[in-house]
Amino acid sequence: MYIMKVTGGETMKCPYCNEADTKVIDSRPADDNSSIRRRRQCESCGKRFTTYEKLETMPLMVIKKDDSREAYDRSKLEAGVIHSCHKRPVSTQQIDSMIDEIETRIFNMEEKEVPTSTIGELVMEKLQQLDEVAYVRFASVYREFKDVNTFMEEIGKLLKK
């Protein structure tokens, strides 16, 4: 039995006779649900083989304030939000849902690189809707408040809304 890994866009050739004329007999999710298992049959020689198709993704790179780049890491985003929501009436489910929404917006931008400022603004937008104290906590770190006046300005903006 031949098992082949397929990446998008290739013509599937028979591993026995090298002909490109094959048909899919059966498709189903693979055991890990992250790929599709396909049973194929060659139209020329009639032999069957299995392929696994998996979506190829480019890692999202985050551009930091110092212009360095690193791979996007959900756990870093979670840690910042959890820290901001510490001892606030915000559930883990609300945090997960918020982070899922932020990730959806980031990945829907279809960019290979996203500045931390974009991610930070999305987090602040969502936190402001979720919990104003958590929002101010996050903003104080993210915007690097230098003194009490800057902190009070941000609170003033919240009170006007």
Write down the pLDDT at residue 104.
87
Overall number of domains in the chain: 2
Query: Are residues 97 and 18 part of one domain?
Result: no
Specify whether 156 is located in the same domain as 83.
Answer: yes
Q: Are residues 110 and 73 in the same domain?
A: yes
More confident residue, 14 or 1: 14
The verdict on 68 and 97 lying in the same domain is yes
79 and 155 fall within a common domain: yes
- 72, 131: one domain: yes
Higher-pLDDT residue of 43, 143 = 43
- Residue 1 corresponds to which amino acid? M
Asked whether the predicted pLDDT for residue 161 surpasses 80, the reply is no
State pTM to two decimals.
Answer: 0.60
Q: What token pair was written down for 28?
A: 């189903």
Q: Which residue has the tokens 């101010």?
A: 136
pLDDT greater at residue 57 or residue 153 = 153
Residues 101 and 150 in one domain: yes
pLDDT at residue 81, as a whole number: 95
Query: What domain range is 145 assigned to?
Result: 61-160
**Helix (H) or strand (E) run with residue 3 in it:** strand 3-6
* pLDDT surpasses 70 at 57: no
Phi-psi region of 18 (alpha: psi -120 to 50; beta: other; left: phi over 0): left
CB 18 within 8 A of CB 48: no
With cut-offs at 50, 70 and 90, classify the pLDDT of residue 52: confident
